Amino acid sequence: MKKSFQLFWSFFKIGAFTLGGGYAMLSMVEKVVVDQKKWIPNEEFWDMIAVVQSLPGVFAVNTALYVGHRVAGTKGAFATMLGAIIPSIVIILLLATVFREYREQPVVERIFKGIRPCVVALILAPSLRMIKSAKVTWKTAIIPIVTVFLIWWLKISPAYVILAAIVGSLVYAILINKKTKNKEAKS
Amino acid sequence: MIYLQLLWVFVKIGVLGFGGGYAMLSLIQHEVVEHYAWMTTTEFADMVAISQMTPGPISINLATYVGYTTAGFGGSLLASFALCLPSIIMVYFILKLFMSKKNNTLMSNMLKGLKPAIAGLIFAAGLSMMNLQNFPDFGNGQSNISVIICVVGFVASYFFKANPILLIVLSGAVGLLVY
C-alpha cells in the first residue's frame, strides 16, 4: 500500500507541474523513477519507453501505467494512472466553470480572438514538422495529401482513414521485417 | 445516451490515437466539433489554448472539458476514463507481446509507415479550423489581423521552435490591443 501511495504521489506531482505535454514529462519521470527511487533500471526504462511510444493512447498515461504495473502490479498501475490524470481533471474542471462564466466578457473575448488564429498555427506547424521527420519524399507525399483530401474535403471520418493507414503500414512493416530476415539469412 | 456516446467516442480515440498529442487532438476535433457538434470551433480553439497553458496531457484536458460541458461532472470523469481504458487493457495484454524485440521492430516500422498519414490528419484538423469563426476579420477591405497572427505564429513555431505558451500569451495580448 505504501509503495502504491508513493507511486501515486510521484506521478501526481509530475502531472501537476509539467507543462508542454508527454515529452516534457518524460525527463521528470526518468528522474524520479530511475534516478531517485531506483524503481526501474535505466536500460529497461528506455527499452520500455521505446515500446510505449509506438502504442496508441495518451503517452503520459501509457508511461504511468507501465511504470506502476512494473513496480507494484495492478494496484501500482492504477495508482500511477490516477496520479497522472487527477491534476489535469481537477485543473480543467476548475477552469471550465470559470471560463464558461467569463467567456462572454468583452475583455476575455478580445484576448481569445487573438489566440484562436495562433492555435490554428500551432496545429499546422507540428504536422509539417512530422512530415519532415517522417522523411516524406515526393513519391510518398501522396499519403499525407490523400489523407488531407479524405478528411478535410470529403469529410470522411479520420477513424476510418487511420484504420486504413494502420492496415497499410502493417503490411509495409511485415514486408520490411521479411526483407531484413532474408538479408540476414543471406549474410 | 450522452454517456454512451462519450464512452464510445473517447474509447475510439484511445484506440486509434497513434502518434502523440496532436494526432489525438485532431481526432477529438473531428468527433467533438464536426460530428457531434458538442463544441463550437471557437470553443475548441479556446480549449486547446487553455490545455496548452495548463499542466497535464492535452487530450486528457480536452476529454475532461468535453465531458463536463456535455454531461457535467460525471461526464468529465467518464470521458477521461474512457480515453485511458484502451491503455489500461494494453498494459496487461499487449505490452508483454511487444516487449519482444521482433514485435517491437514490427511495431515501430508500422509507426514509421503511419506517420505521414498522421501528419495529414493533423494538417486536416488545422485546415478545418481555418474558418470565419476563428478568423472573423478575414476578407477584402478588412483588417486581416487574424491572418497575420496565424502566419507569424506559424513561422515562429515551425522555423524558430518558439514556445507555444509564449505564442499564445503574445497573440492574446495582440487580441486585447487591436480588437
Q: What is the pLDDT of residues A13-56, one digit of tens each?
A: 999 988 866 677 888 899 999 999 999 999 989 988 888 888 89
Cβ-defined contact of B87 to A65 (cutoff 8 Å): yes
Q: Judge contact between B28 and B63, C-beta under 8 A.
A: yes
CB contacts < 8 Å between A and B, how many? 367
- Please give the model's pTM, rounded to 2 decimal places: 0.91
Q: What is the ipTM of this complex?
A: 0.93
All cell numbers assigned to B49: 489554448
Cβ-defined contact of B146 to A134 (cutoff 8 Å): no
At what angle are helices B41-53 and A106-133 packed, to 10 degrees? 80
pLDDT at A1: 65
* DSSP-assigned letter for residue B132: T
- Listed by start position, the domains of chain A span 2-102, 106-135, 136-187
pLDDT tens digits, B12-69: 999 999 988 899 999 999 999 999 999 999 999 999 999 999 998 999 999 999 999 9
Q: Judge contact between A56 and B88, C-beta under 8 A.
A: no
Measured CA distances, A48 to A23, B65, B105 (Å)? 14, 31, 13
Length of chain B: 179
For A119-140, what is the HEC assignment? Answer: HHHHHHHHHHHHHHHCCCCCCC
Cβ-defined contact of B124 to A152 (cutoff 8 Å): yes
Residue of B nearest to A118 (CA): B150
Count CB neighbours of B136 within 10 A.
Answer: 17
Contact status of A106 with chain B (Cβ, < 8 Å): no
Contact status of A121 with chain B (Cβ, < 8 Å): yes
| Phi, then psi, of A139 in degrees rounded to 5 | -75, -45
Cα separation, B170 vs B179, whole angstroms: 14
Nearest to B98 by CA among A4, A92, A107, A52: A52
Least confident of B89-93, B114-118, B126-130: B89-93
Give A123's contacts in chain B (Cβ within 8 Å).
22, 25-26, 48, 122, 125-126, 129
* DSSP-assigned letter for residue B160: T
